[in-house]
Amino acid sequence: MGIVASAKRIMRLMTRHGLVPLSRSAKRYGSYKGEPAKAPKNLADRDFHAEAPNRLWVTDLTEFSIPAGKAYLSPVIDCYDGMPVAWTIGTSPNAELANGMLADACSTLKDGEKPIIHSD
């Protein structure tokens, strides 16, 4: 008949009149691949104070907008004195950024030091 209408409008009209389409539309993408891994215990329990260096570290990923685009900072902070242990800066928030920071931070540890690392 030459009438042009959006698919959503047609679906609304069909629903209003109790009509069902003969064929279903394509499925939407879903990234769900099963049950997620069990979350680790919250050892810090929101108490971000340490009695000695290298007992509790906290980390997060922060995005900055700069004239050249976006930059991402991935630091690890020691909760004993609030000082950064290590950090990496990159143009993409990927695993390489976080893993590089962790490798740098772990290289500062002495024998026997095993800090708890807390992240969101």
Q: Residue 99 — very low, low, confident or very high, per pLDDT cuts 50/70/90?
A: very high
Task: Report the pLDDT averaged over residues 84-110.
Answer: 95
Higher per-residue confidence, 43 vs 67: 67
Q: Residue 25 — very low, low, confident or very high, per pLDDT cuts 50/70/90?
A: low
pTM here is: 0.65
Listed in sequence order, the residues at least 6 apart from 50 whose beta carbon sits closer than 8 Å to its beta carbon are 56, 78, 79, 80
DSSP letter at 10? H
Class of the 56-119 domain?
alpha beta
Report yes or no: 88 and 101 within 8 Å, Cβ to Cβ: yes
Higher per-residue confidence, 20 vs 79: 79
| Of the candidate ranges 12-16, 28-32, 91-95, the one whose mean pLDDT is the lowest | 28-32
The residue extents of the domains of the chain are 56-119
